[in-house]
Structure 1
Amino acid sequence: MKEKKQEMFEKMQERKTEVKKVRKIVAIIAVIFVLVIGIIGLIGYNYVSSALKPVDPDATKTIAVEVPIGSSLSSIAALLEEKGIIKDARVFKYYAKFNNESQFQAGNYDLTQAMTLDELIESLKTGKVYREPVFTMTIPEGFTLEQIGNVIEKKTSYTQKEFMDLVTSDEFVQQMMTNYPDLVTEAVLADTIRYDLEGYLYPATYSYFEENPSLESIVEEMVAAMNNVVKNYTDVLAEKQMTVHELLTFASLLEEEATAQTDRETIASVFYNRIDEGMPLQTDPTVLYALGSHKDRVLYEDLEVADPYNTYKNKGLPPGPIAGAGKTSIEATLNPSSTDYFYFLADKEGVNHFSKTYDEHLQKVEKYLRKAE
């Protein structure tokens, strides 16, 4: 009898021990579960909090975003995430829904990574960029580096000399070659080139969201803009066996020859025809660039200047661009008209007249220029 009681007692003790172990394990599992939930919640909270903030509060570069007609909130959110304007499309979508914002307008926007979600929503609602830049700066097509320096001097605290010192420094040129290897190549280092980065700063209107952006950032944004334009023509350049340097050089000639009513594709055909025939291009803007001065009229004595850029004295393209070309001139270079013209002139009204022969050209010179004097 005593033995049975002892056996029952021992079994009860074993059960109590097992129950304690089970409870201990359950408690540990519960603690781990709570910790995991807490960690996940903390990570989620931090992630959402981060996604509600601007991607880069100090960003100044604008990013072009096109919102198509009929875009849904989900597609707009996905587009903004793809462009790097926001961190998470889902957070933006739910934030907009929480604030009862969903009626956004289609259109083209220049947005920045420094914009808050509220600023983005306001921009998309009104159809215009809500975040106003501190200042804008327009670089016209056909401007040389020296002329760009003048614009920068007027719009910023930097002088033209500081600008020219930067764009002609070996260190900065090498940095641009490193950052944009498909655009700025070894071709810019030729001894005959006056300024390495001439023609490599894209003419456009730039917006700045801080009062004093660094000079380096201002210039690099212009180089980056040219890189973004030129990279669209990589396949065409390969097909034509033309380098980027040749493209920008040729396009700069069109830009400088252009008038308000000019036909750039036809002018391009004239240049190509002359190159194919081994004729010098004989374009006056290269003479002015060689002289380093701006004149309303090129004199016969100017045509004799001994300089690599003088296309009256040297056949083919000049050593490098003579100005910054816009997209229209770049595309005209790659898609010239098919003509038999070898000569052209612009009359007093800026209308171009093309000729197949030199005699025909002389007749038009007499008719449109000399008789008009």
Structure 2
Amino acid sequence: MFKRLFGVLVVIVLLAAIALAADATRFFLSPLQNATGQLVMVESGMSFRSIARRLLDDDVIRHPREVHYLSAYARATGVANRIKAGEYAVPAHQTPAHLLELLVSGKTRQYRLTMVEGQRFSDFRAQLDKDDAIDHQLTGKSDADVMAAIGHAGEKPEGRFMPDTYLFPRGMTDTAFLKRAYDAMQTYLTKAWADRADDIAVDSPYDALILASIVEKETAVPAERTRISGVFTRRLKKGMLLQTDPTVIYGIKDYDGNIRRSDLRRDTPYNTYTRPGLPPTPIAMPSREAIHAALHPSSGDALYFVSRGDGSHVFSATLAEHNAAVDKYQRGS
């Protein structure tokens, strides 16, 4: 009787093992049941079982027993110790094998943030502070603290960061993001300075950055950048005041969108109507194209330019020609 009972139990255990093995095999060979793509966050230091439970919580896998299947497989194959932290976008209907390949690959979901050409650093910081994919460490800190945090204490931040669209994983710190943009600008500026033309009026890469920021703010027409740069280069060489409105605006606190005669007369470090040479810092984040223009000014005799009102400009070699263009396009006479 005991032998018969033992035999029955053995058969039951074997059948259960076979059924379990068949179920596990089905699980590994079949697509997951998530109908839509899921986002899964794998945090640094998580055990694989914790990761598997999170997959269950996020409905990537559907049954608690699949946590055990996945964990056992990951341990047996060595995958458990190769998972990389980050946020993953798990496509719908992936097999468990493909899911594990994704978690090992480190191909985390990428977010994007654009630093716009001509944007002020203060405006970009406000934009950065609102991005919920960023780990905010610098919010509320001074510009001096920010520059120290990225390893460039004592530098002014304006103009030091390359305008571009940056891809980054969730959890990147604002410190790391800004350091990346800073390094991108320095890399480009160093190369651009090495390739500069001979007839420029600036003496250092930083001065080129300042001039480029003015060029960036003066025109939105790509073909005009080198011509604008040419005008400012000739004025600097002749010792003429630059007399450029964007620098004046930069020096006005709480600028309301209107520049007045009194603003042009009010002396600030950025008023190029009252002070010779370049302002003390860039006035915006210049693009690669503006930096190239600052270091490759067009030749010619133009010393003045005025907006036509459509984004383009009229260039003049003499004050009389310039005044006539101002009358035509600005005063409507």
TM-score by shorter chain over 0.5: yes
SS in 1 for 2:126: helix
Given that 1:146 and 1:160 are in contact with CA atoms closer than 8 Å, whether structure 2 keeps it comes out as no
Matches of 1:206 and 1:171, distance apart in 2? 19
- Out of 217, 238, 243, the residue aligned to residue 176 of structure 2 is 217
Matches of 1:336 and 1:117, distance apart in 2? 51
Find the counterpart in structure 2 of residue 197 from structure 1.
157
Matches of 2:137 and 2:173, distance apart in 1? 15
- Out of 260, 277, 282, the residue aligned to residue 316 of structure 1 is 277
What aligned pairs does 1:330-369 form with structure 2 within 5 A after superposition?
Answer: 330-369=291-330
Find the counterpart in structure 2 of residue 98 from structure 1.
none
CA deviations over 1:84-103 (Å, ceiling 9, x no partner): xxxxxxxxxxxxxxxxxxxx
Return closer, same or farther for 1:338/1:136 CA change in 2, 3 Å cut-off: same
SS in 1 for 2:306: strand
Deviation of 1:119 (Å): 6.2
Matches of 1:164 and 1:354, distance apart in 2? 44
Given that 1:176 and 1:220 are in contact with CA atoms closer than 8 Å, whether structure 2 keeps it comes out as no
- Out of 186, 197, 206, the residue aligned to residue 166 of structure 2 is 206
Which runs of 5 or more structure 2 residues have no equivalent in the other structure?
1-76, 88-100
Matches of 2:238 and 2:270, distance apart in 1? 20
Matches of 1:141 and 1:164, distance apart in 2? 24
Find the counterpart in structure 2 of residue 228 from structure 1.
187
Matches of 1:201 and 1:59, distance apart in 2? 26
Return closer, same or farther for 1:171/1:204 CA change in 2, 3 Å cut-off: closer
Deviation of 1:362 (Å): 0.8
- Out of 249, 265, 284, the residue aligned to residue 226 of structure 2 is 265
Find the counterpart in structure 1 of residue 114 from structure 2.
138
Find the counterpart in structure 1 of residue 30 from structure 2.
none
Matches of 2:197 and 2:227, distance apart in 1? 22
Given that 2:196 and 2:296 are in contact with CA atoms closer than 8 Å, whether structure 1 keeps it comes out as no
**Corresponding residue pairs, total:** 240
Deviation of 1:157 (Å): 7.0
Matches of 2:102 and 2:139, distance apart in 1? 33
Given that 1:262 and 1:350 are in contact with CA atoms closer than 8 Å, whether structure 2 keeps it comes out as no
Deviation of 1:371 (Å): 1.1
Return closer, same or farther for 1:332/1:148 CA change in 2, 3 Å cut-off: same
Identity level (%):
28
SS in 1 for 2:116: coil
Return closer, same or farther for 1:234/1:340 CA change in 2, 3 Å cut-off: closer
Given that 1:261 and 1:351 are in contact with CA atoms closer than 8 Å, whether structure 2 keeps it comes out as no
CA deviations over 1:343-368 (Å, ceiling 9, x no partner): 00112111210001111111111111
SS in 2 for 1:303: helix
Return closer, same or farther for 1:345/1:160 CA change in 2, 3 Å cut-off: farther
Matches of 2:146 and 2:130, distance apart in 1? 25
Deviation of 1:306 (Å): 1.8
SS in 2 for 1:370: coil
Find the counterpart in structure 2 of residue 298 from structure 1.
259
Find the counterpart in structure 2 of residue 46 from structure 1.
none
Return closer, same or farther for 1:360/1:139 CA change in 2, 3 Å cut-off: same
Matches of 2:102 and 2:203, distance apart in 1? 44
TM-score normalised by length of structure 1: 0.57
Matches of 1:227 and 1:257, distance apart in 2? 23
SS in 1 for 2:283: coil
Q: State the one-letter code of the partner of 1:313.
A: T
SS in 2 for 1:344: strand
Matches of 1:358 and 1:257, distance apart in 2? 19
SS in 1 for 2:157: coil
TM-score normalised by length of structure 2: 0.63
Deviation of 1:161 (Å): 11
Given that 1:149 and 1:159 are in contact with CA atoms closer than 8 Å, whether structure 2 keeps it comes out as no
Matches of 1:284 and 1:276, distance apart in 2? 20
Deviation of 1:299 (Å): 1.1
Matches of 2:209 and 2:234, distance apart in 1? 18
Q: State the one-letter code of the partner of 2:172.
A: P
